[in-house]
Structure 1
Amino acid sequence: MVWLQYTATRRQRAATAGLFLTGAVLIAVAARLSYANIEPSRAKAARRREVLEAFIARKRAAAAGAGGADSHPSPDPAKP
């Protein structure tokens, strides 16, 4: 069984190479932009986590102060 009956013309090979290179460049640009946006996202997630931990700590302190039977112990202090 023959995979390709006819060989590609020079123009077809050039078009294939051009499309391949265009795709490779687009992937490289997307990867670069993705890595450029990682650090701001990490900082935003860290800040969100800190706010959530503070909120939970306030709720636990309020529940412990009320003397509820199902109150939880206070969380460990935040590590620097």
Structure 2
Amino acid sequence: MRDGIGYSDPIAALREAERVLKPGGTILIADFAKGHEGERIWGETYYTPKQVEAMLRKCGFEEVNVQQVPGKHFLFASGR
């Protein structure tokens, strides 16, 4: 899922993804992280790895893993 948390209501988007995901399925997210210049240029909102982890858990995902690319404002997240 690209821009899976870039919606105006990321919790609603993640809840819907969790709802339609097949049992045992995995969500994969690749997105910019907090501090990316897109926040300033495009006025978008990005999140820290801890914020993304909290959102995924709040929406019912387990086995959550969020990693930020070292030295970059880009992250990968997954959950079941």
The TM-score normalised by the length of structure 1 is 0.20
Higher helix fraction (1 or 2) = 1
Higher strand fraction (1 or 2) = 2
Higher RCO by CA contacts (8 Å cutoff, separation 6 or greater): 2
The TM-score normalised by the length of structure 2 is 0.20
Bigger-Rg structure (1/2)? 1
